[in-house]
């Protein structure tokens, strides 16, 4: 092998450079994501799905809170007396807690519609 030919190496460098100087075959950047209307429609569907998932999560949390609140209130009752007195104590606590629990569940159901 002899010494490298300077003319050949210049031609090789020019060929590499010119390969990237031409216009892009795929067109402008609008083609990158396909049809813009289709992309917009899919993004809207995705946003709607995420919003539905958020409503469902909120409803689940509200219902869980209602149940946890009711259970905690009943567990804190210090039942005393005979069965009738204990039933009255539970009814008194439920009369205070139940309307709040119902409101939470009602709002959760309304959020799902």
Q: Is the pLDDT of residue 88 over 90?
A: yes
Question: Taking Cα atoms as reference points, which of 111, 112, 102, 107 lies closest to residue 69?
Answer: 102
Dig out the tokens for 7 from the structure. 């003319």
% the chain with pLDDT above 90: 17
Distance between CA atoms of residues 63 and 46, nearest Å: 26
Distance between CA atoms of residues 77 and 97, nearest Å: 12
Dig out the tokens for 29 from the structure. 């950047």
Question: Taking Cα atoms as reference points, which of 47, 63, 74, 78 lies closest to residue 112?
Answer: 63
Higher pLDDT, 80 or 2: 80
pLDDT bin (cut points 50, 70, 90) of residue 40 is confident
Q: What is the CA radius of gyration of the chain?
A: 35
């Amino acid at each position: 092998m002899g010494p490298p030919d300077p003319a050949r190496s210049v031609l090789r460098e020019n060929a590499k450079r010119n390969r990237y100087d031409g216009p892009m075959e795929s067109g402008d950047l609008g083609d990158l994501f396909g049809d813009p209307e289709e992309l917009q429609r899919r993004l809207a569907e995705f946003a709607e799905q995420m919003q539905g998932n958020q409503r469902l999560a909120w409803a689940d949390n509200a219902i869980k809170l209602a149940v946890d609140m009711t259970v905690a209130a009943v567990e804190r009752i210090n039942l005393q007396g005979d069965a009738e007195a204990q039933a009255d104590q539970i009814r008194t606590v439920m009369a205070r807690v139940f309307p709040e629990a119902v409101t939470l569940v009602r709002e959760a159901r309304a959020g799902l519609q």
